Amino acid sequence: MQALMIPLFLVLLLPLHVSASDSVYETFVQCLSNQTNQPEQVSNIVYSQTNPSYTTVLRAYIRNSRFNTSTTPKPTIIVTPTQESHVQATVICTKNIGIQLKIRSGGHDYEGISYISDVPFIILDMFNLRSITINLQEQTAWIESGATLGELYYRIWEKSKVLGFPASVCPTVGIGGHISGGGYGNMLRKHGLSVDHVLDAKLVDVNGKILDKESMGEDLFWAIRGGGGASFGVILSYKIKLILVPETVSVFRIERTLDEEENVTDIVYKWQQVAPTTDDNLWMRMLIQPVSSIVNKGEKTIIVSILTMFLGNAEELVALLHKDFPELGLKKEGVMEMSWIESVVWWANYDNGTSPSVLLDRNPDTANFLKRKSDYVQTPISKDGLEWLWKRMIELGKTGLVFNPYGGKMNEIPASATAFPHRAGNLFKIQYFVNWDEEGIELEKNYTAQIRRLYSYMTPFVSKNPRSAFFNYRDLDIGINNNDKNSYEEGEVYGVKYFNDNFHRLVKVKTAVDPHNFFRNEQSIPTNPNDRLSVFKADFYKHSNQVADYLLVSSSLADCWSPLRRDQIVVVDIYPIFLSLEKLMGGLMYLLLVWDLQLRRMNFWS
């Protein structure tokens, strides 16, 4: 076999490629056709703004009506890959054109950043890549990122009545955003986060290469478990470990209103002691909302609802709460026993008796205008504090709070084990929520101002330095990146809130795998402009591959060689040698680096 070795210095021969383009759409389609082996398929997966299906495709995964208006920025192109190679081609071609790429799986981003942008952009819409393959022997599953959680739960249940997976209670949420952002649900205290059960992943990197856990390396695999996917590449699929669920689980919902019972404050106060410390099988979510009072007409009051998941039967649950939380006065009649899949349906708010096949429904029939924010609470809020809070919530009128208890398994996993940092030390996470159902700038201003006001009232009660936030509860109020020269400083503002101490490692990974910040958005992980060595290292592999491609083309043109096939060119991995050289002669490597940067400035190569 004729093979060609390419050492590092050949990189220097690389010419600069400049592509002239007629229109973005035509260039893009042309490039996609060139990049895929079935060019005739390309027209089926690319939607321009003039395509009659464009609006339907765009709207199919908009889950927040705020971003469903005529003034919402729209993508130049939507690509809906049906094969992994389409994703690779989309990354390469979008990069060639130099336009922004947004990646969408389930579209549940609270700020819509998977499908809107202030600059021209393309949506890579993953909904066709949604296969779920369950391996019963291993108790594992490979899930493509365009699948929904409802589909995952349903497919697990089809195969086994004793397996499950810990993730969100909302079945239409997409795998791509949910797992990469650290997803959690009602088994959090027993089993931790979704990312705590990820075994492997497939990702398309900035060079259009498909990587798995092995080839992406420890750092990148760590980053896409809680650090979000969109800063690092396109996640094709995750391999997860399934968990065992009991044949019977128990749920209940208890509601108390302040105007009917004085002791609601006592219950909320006690909840803060019990919910994060009780048996790990018990997860008690608490919702606190202002509502119209039935007792005092024309006035508002506070309603507190406790929704509970218990991995066990009703008798055990009643006995447990009788001991830990007698103030609730829970009776066996108030508890519903069911199978795990029925509990999934119950948590998704469907009526008792609804078939689990409802979990396959991708089109929820309600759509709201909404805004969310988040906080972490590390010390209990005093009774006086709570009573003061009720008054503020009643004044504001609409914004509610969800308290999601931590503890249990969350206390056992180190904050640096995955990119998701909020572990031991947190009693509960708060989600702020406000929904409304009419379009209007004034209305939106009112409600977003209201939720921000409540967030500001909460300052004394929540985590400080940083005031932490949950990445999957996307909130652009805590900082935005313009991805220009101040991108590192801008990224640090929201980055340390979402990721605490893990932010700096995320920046390192980002700088190494996407040094030119192709995968960027309003809250992506920035690169570190001072980490030149990382940039150089990352470019090393890219250049080697470019050289290989270059030789491939030249060999087909030159008379002196018989044309080569790509598999006849071996890119020799001399990087380990490079690394030991670096150790030996750190100073010299630095010189090389500076030289490289100088040539770059002179546009000598890309």
Ligand X SMILES: Cc1cc2nc3c(=O)[nH]c(=O)nc-3n(C[C@H](O)[C@H](O)[C@H](O)COP(=O)(O)OP(=O)(O)OC[C@H]3O[C@@H](n4cnc5c(N)ncnc54)[C@H](O)[C@@H]3O)c2cc1C
Which residue among 104, 239, 423, 537 contacts ligand X (CB under 6 A)? 104
Among 29, 91, 103, 132, binds ligand X (CB under 6 A): 103
Asked whether 106 and 129 are in contact (CB, 8 A), the reply is no
For the chain, what is the radius of gyration of the CA atoms?
26
- 447 carries an active-site annotation: no
d(CA 591, CA 217): 28
Q: Distance (Å, rounded) from C-alpha 536 to C-alpha 487?
A: 19
Contact 512, 219 (CB under 8 A): yes
Type of residue numbered 501: D
Look up tokens 């500076």; give the residue.
594
Q: Is the peptide bond before 526 cis (omega within 30 degrees of 0)?
A: no
CB nearer ligand NAG, residue 2 or residue 55: 55
Q: Which of 47, 473, 494, 498 is catalytic?
A: 473
Tell me if 434 contacts ligand X by CB under 6 A. Answer: no
Of the pair 336, 571, the CB lying nearest ligand NAG is at: 336
In angstroms, what is the minimal distance from the CB of 63 to ligand NAG? 6
Q: Does 367 bind ligand NAG (CB under 6 A)?
A: yes
CB atoms within 10 A of CB 225: 24
Q: Which of residues 116-155 bind ligand X (CB under 6 A)?
A: 126, 145
Exactly one of 261, 299, 315, 501 binds ligand NAG (CB under 6 A); which one? Answer: 261
Binding residues among 154-173 for ligand X as defined by CB under 6 A = 168-170, 173
Q: Which of 31, 359, 402, 513 binds ligand NAG (CB under 6 A)?
A: 31
Least gap, CB of 131 to ligand X (angstroms) = 14
**Binding segment toward ligand X, per CB under 6 A, in 41-49, 110-118, 316-324, 549-557:** 110-118
Straight-line distance from the first to the last Cα atom of the chain, in angstroms, rounded to the nearest whole number: 32
Picked from ligand X, ligand NAG, none, the partner binding residue 183 (CB below 5 to 8 A depending on kind) is: ligand X
- Residue 475 burial (CB < 10 Å; 0-12/13-18/19+)? buried
Binding map of ligand NAG across residues 295-334, x = CB under 6 A, - = no contact = --------------------------------x-------
Residue 604, token pair as written in the block = 């000598």
User: Of all helices (H) and strands (E), which one includes residue 450?
Assistant: helix 441-457
The smaller minimum CB distance to ligand NAG, of residues 65 and 277, is found at: 65
* C-alpha closest to that of 521 among 121, 69, 211, 79: 121
**Residue 295: CB minimum distance to ligand NAG, A:** 12
Instruction: Tell me which of ligand X, ligand NAG, none is bound by residue 68, counting a contact when its beta carbon lies within the kind-specific cut-off of 5 to 8 angstroms.
Output: ligand NAG
Q: How far apart are CA 224 and CA 182, in angstroms?
A: 9
Separation in Å, CA 266 to CA 119, 385, 505 = 50, 12, 42
Interface residue with ligand NAG, options 34, 53, 292, 357 (CB under 6 A): 34
Binding stretches for ligand NAG (CB under 6 A): 27, 30-31, 34, 59, 62-63, 65, 68, 261-263, 327, 336, 352-353, 367, 442-443, 446
Residues annotated as part of the active site: 473
